[in-house]
Amino acid sequence: QDDELSYALGKQGGTRKKLERSSGSIVQYVGQVALFSGEKPARRRAKEYMKWLFDQLEGPVYCEDWQDRDDVTVVDVPSDCIGYVTGSRRAALGSMEEEW
């Protein structure tokens, strides 16, 4: 479980901060418990994003209702650019996450 907590926190709390920014809620960890604070829709998003975070450890994550969501941005990546986007510790993808 310590590995899961480290993963959810991210380097220097980066993953936790991304969860907060993207969901609009406050995310804190007390021991092995995640606490979500904020408006109900923001807390719901934070929980869902955290579920996706852990789900991706098992394999690809697909959002069934992405077309109906207002918190999703679809980026078409040409097949010859996938290595650039996902390579080098996801630097390009991380940069896009920060911008969006």
CATH code for position 19: 3.30.1370.10
Same structural domain for residues 54 and 90?
A: no
> What radius of gyration, in Å, describes the C-alpha atoms of the chain?
14
Overall average pLDDT of the 82-95 stretch = 77
**Position 40 pLDDT exceeds 90:** yes
71 backbone dihedrals φ, ψ, rounded to 5°: -115, 25
Residues 6+ apart with CB under 8 A from 72: 63, 66
Overall average pLDDT of the 31-38 stretch = 94
Residue 68 lies in a domain: no
* Whole-number pLDDT of residue 100: 67
Task: Indicate the average pLDDT of the chain.
Answer: 88
Encode the chain in three state secondary structure. CHHHHHHHHCHHHHHHHHHHHHHCCEEEEECCEEEEECCHHHHHHHHHHHHHHHHCCCCCCCCCCHHHCCCCCCCCCCHHHHHHHHHHHHHHHHHHHHHC
Residue 72 pLDDT grade (very low, low, confident, very high; cuts 50, 70, 90): confident
Residue 10 lies in a domain: yes
Residue 34 pLDDT grade (very low, low, confident, very high; cuts 50, 70, 90): very high
Residue 81 lies in a domain: yes
**Position 26 pLDDT exceeds 90:** yes
Rounded Cα distance, 85 and 41, in Å: 30
